[in-house]
Structure 1
Amino acid sequence: MTSRATGPVLITGAFGQVGRRCTEILLDRGRTVVAMELRNDTTVATAEELATRGGTLIPAYVDLLDADAVAALVAEHQPVAIVHLAAIFAPSSYRNPRLARKVNVGGTENLLAAAAALSTPPLFLYASSAAVYGSRNPHRYPERITASTPVDPIDQYGEDKVLAEKAIAVSGLPHAVLRLAGIISPDGASNMNADYLLLMRATPGDNRMHTVDSRDVALAFANAVDRGDAIDGKTLLIAGDDSHVRTHRELEDEMMEAVGLGRLGNGASLPGDPDDDRGWSFTGWFDTSESQSLLNFQQHTWPQTKAWVADAMGARRLVIGLLGPVARPALRLVLQVQRHVEGRGRYADPWTLIERKYGSDVLTPTDY
């Protein structure tokens, strides 16, 4: 029997912003990592780069939707732990919610079936999301979110995560669900497409946001691999220390400051309606006391994370900074015009804007 302390670890989404760093940590610890990804120029280049580290990297270009290929891969390598990070994330998932459901839920079920077929069941570690809690009105629910806070997803992505969590719970595998706060890294700049910009505009400026450095998320999963007995069956909230707690407007302004543009200020966002429980975005502030005690992952404060993003900008930050005095008022004007054209009122009302943009399929009518 292969020891969980030395056996191979399979990571899905192994070269993403969390997966890559988790893979690096485990390789540096001398582990064998089966890195499951879709093949493209970026993932092939990443595999070549990571292969120079310690441990053993086994790239595996397998689609989660190919149940036979997933089963063959798991049977061949017999991992002692599976770190399941791969997904189609919101808001990209809003473009094709049916495909997202197949990947996020069906792909997870394929992986669970393959794992359950092994003679020695692997530890299954799942990356869930704050989206499972749906719209969080801080005026109605001022307390911090805990693992026992009822799930109440408002969008398709949050529902995908709830359905995947339920499949894991009945799988019979040793497992832990890690619900992640808002992940911050320099890689995030590559996600700043029209969908993300719309989500940012839709979010109330006073929405509670709890962030976490992607390096700390990676460490949480890497440490979880070796702590299966302590975390089996648990739901753990993964967010930064209290320096990572703020509102959406504060977060957006500080990130714009990090990239060199500077703060847009309160006028760049609409507030949430205190009397409307659907008028808020997901996230919220997490109670991380249990997860930190078990996984010891909070290594980077918010100022360190912000400095990491700023340093990664390099010379671009100076150029953006020079444009800032002109760009900031122009952006404020654009945001005001957009709100007028869209007929938005006094409050943010994010899900009305999102449904109007992507259609009703992105929201869930299910009562949890």
Structure 2
Amino acid sequence: MAAGDRVLVTGAYGLVGRPTVRQLVADGFKVVATAHHAVKPELPAAVEVHPLDLTKPDQVAAVVADVRPSAIVHLAACIPPMCYANRTLARAVNVDATAALVRAAQTMPSPPRFVHASSMAVYGSRNPHRCNDLLTADTPTAASDLYGCHKLESENVVRSSDLEWSILRLSGVNTLEPLVDYGDLDWLYFGAVMPVDNRCHYVDARDAATAFAAAVTTDAVREIFVIGGDESNKRVVSDSAESNVAIGTGALVVPGLPGDPESDVDWYPLDWMDTSRSQQVLKYQRYSWSDSIEEMRARASGWKSRALRIAAPLMARRMRKRAPYYNYPGRYADPWGRIRDRWGDPAPDSGAIVR
């Protein structure tokens, strides 16, 4: 891979996709982005955009054949909590589309490198009172929800191919540019279902983008990397309230509950990671936790953010009454039960790969 080569990016308009595209452009690549919906203005002008419905294998094959990329960065995914609400679509995007891209790539005369976005969800629930080790690429996987199983299955598709591949298992991404929607506050509810003491390793979206761009050119191929920020980004879920305060929605943060220290099930699949190998190879960690928070504050200037800041105090009382644990009789968080009640069954499909 060299400057001027073409890189096909799926999920290019996502919260990791946009900075990844910008980084690849800055590195001198010709970037081709895929888009399911109407083209948006956030990407650099030099980026070529191809319409693509990833759930249509014939369209996937046609785009890969037309673009003839030297690398594919596959970021598109149906993530929680949406994946729980539409299991059929989630599988089509998370698993079937990955398989279609791999098949198309393998048919090319010069097969492209394949850089695949995965998730720490493949490790399953981790009780921090009993799990003191840091996650690594070699930690046994034990997916406990639909999304984690989808990611494991898609990883297996990539790993069994003849392509040069890299798999990047992402931690919790500090997105910097929250897609604030005045009428949809599921993002606040979803954050509140998780145990407040659930460990989570965050990473600045810009650092994640640097990691994906570096994976396009590194000599270390056919390797799995765990991607998280520096030591300051090893936090617990309750610390995410700082990002809400930064964008002016602190009043909407609703109380949560701690996790049950005696249960290995009732925790969301998050934890801290040993990123020494990924940092050695990809050299992506530049931004601390406080750097991310300050960047969020600086960027929270759009009209949606301003409207939500004005409305937040008025909405706070109603939000608290609709919080996942409002008048909840239990002492500990029940993340899977709250998710099931609001979005649908988060359990893996019958016969799904969990390890």
If the length of structure 2 is used for normalisation, what is the TM-score?
0.90
Mark the CA change 1:25 to 1:188 in structure 2 (over 3 Å): closer, same or farther: same
With over 3 angstroms needed to count, the CA separation of the structure-2 counterparts of 1:323 and 1:154, relative to structure 1, is: same
User: Aligned with 1:237: secondary structure?
Assistant: strand
Q: Does 2:235 match 1:250?
A: no
The Cα of 1:198 is off from its aligned counterpart by 2.8
Cα offset, 1:61, TM superposition: 0.7
Paired position in structure 2 for 1:36 = 34
The verdict on how the C-alpha distance between 1:326 and 1:99 changes in structure 2, with shifts beyond 3 A counting, is: closer
Aligned to 2:71: 81
1:358 deviation in Å?
3.1
Percent of residue pairs identical: 37
Equivalent position to 1:155, from 140, 145, 163: 145
Q: CA deviation at 1:332?
A: 8.4
Matches within 5 A, 1:65-104: 65-104=55-94
Secondary structure of 1:290's partner?
helix
Q: Does the alignment pair 1:208 with 2:196?
A: no
Aligned equivalent of 2:24, options 20, 23, 26: 26
| Worse overlay, 108-117 or 30-39 | 30-39
Q: What letter corresponds to residue 258 of structure 2 in structure 1?
A: P
Q: 1:304 aligns with which of 259, 281, 291?
A: 291
Question: Match of 2:41?
Answer: 45
Q: 1:17 to 1:268 in 2, by over 3 A?
A: same
Residues 1:141 and 2:139 are matched in the alignment: no
Conservation of the 8 A alpha-carbon contact between 1:4 and 1:81? no
Question: Is 1:351 the counterpart of 2:336 in the alignment?
Answer: yes
More helix by share: 1
Q: Which residue of 2 aligns with 1:339?
A: 325
The alpha-carbon distance between structure 1 residues 173 and 249, as it changes in their structure 2 partners (threshold 3 A), is: same
Cα distance between partner residues in 1 of 2:42 and 2:306? 28
CA pair 345-96 structure 1, distance change in 2 beyond 3 A: same
Task: Sort the Cα spacing of 1:262 and 1:35 in 2 relative to 1 into closer, same or farther, 3 A.
Answer: closer
One-letter amino acid of the structure 2 residue matched with residue 10 of structure 1: L
Gaps of 5+ in 2: none
- CA shift for structure 1 position 256: 2.6
Q: How far does residue 87 in structure 1 lie from its aligned partner after superposition?
A: 1.2
Q: Does the 8 A contact of 2:15 with 2:177 survive in 1?
A: yes
- State the one-letter code of the partner of 1:256: N
The alignment status of 1:271 with 2:267, answered yes or no, reads: no
Partners of 2:309 and 2:71 in 1: how far apart?
Answer: 45
Deviations 1:208-236 (A, max 9, x none): 01111111111111111111x22x11110
SS of equivalent residue, structure 1 residue 46: coil
Say whether the 8 Å CA contact 1:207–1:247 is kept in structure 2. Answer: yes
Does 2:248 match 1:260?
yes
Deviations 1:112-144 (A, max 9, x none): 000000122211000111111121111111111
Q: 1:323 to 1:37 in 2, by over 3 A?
A: closer
From 282, 286, 291, the counterpart of 1:295: 282
- The aligned counterpart of 1:226 is 217
Change (3 A) 1:181 1:345: same
Q: How does 1:316-335 map to 2 (within 5 A)?
A: 330=317, 334=321
Deviation of 1:104 (Å):
0.9
Q: Aligned pair in 2 of structure 1 residues 242, 327: CA closer, same or farther (>3 Å)?
A: farther
When the two structures are aligned, how many residues end up with a matched partner? 351
Name 1:281's counterpart in structure 2: 268
SS for the counterpart of 2:331 is: coil
CA contact (8 A) 1:22 1:222 kept: yes
The correspondence for 1:236, drawn from 225, 231, 238, is 225
* Worse-matched range after superposition: 181-190 or 123-132: 181-190
Counterparts of 1:4-15 in structure 2 under 5 Å? 4-15=2-13
* 2:9 alignment partner, SS class: strand
Question: What stretches of structure 1 move > 6 A for 4+ residues in a row?
Answer: 315-328
SS class of match (1:45): coil
Q: Deviations over 1:244-298 (max 9, x none)?
A: 111111222x123212354889x91111001111110111111111101111111
Q: CA contact under 8 A between 1:154 and 1:364: conserved in structure 2?
A: no
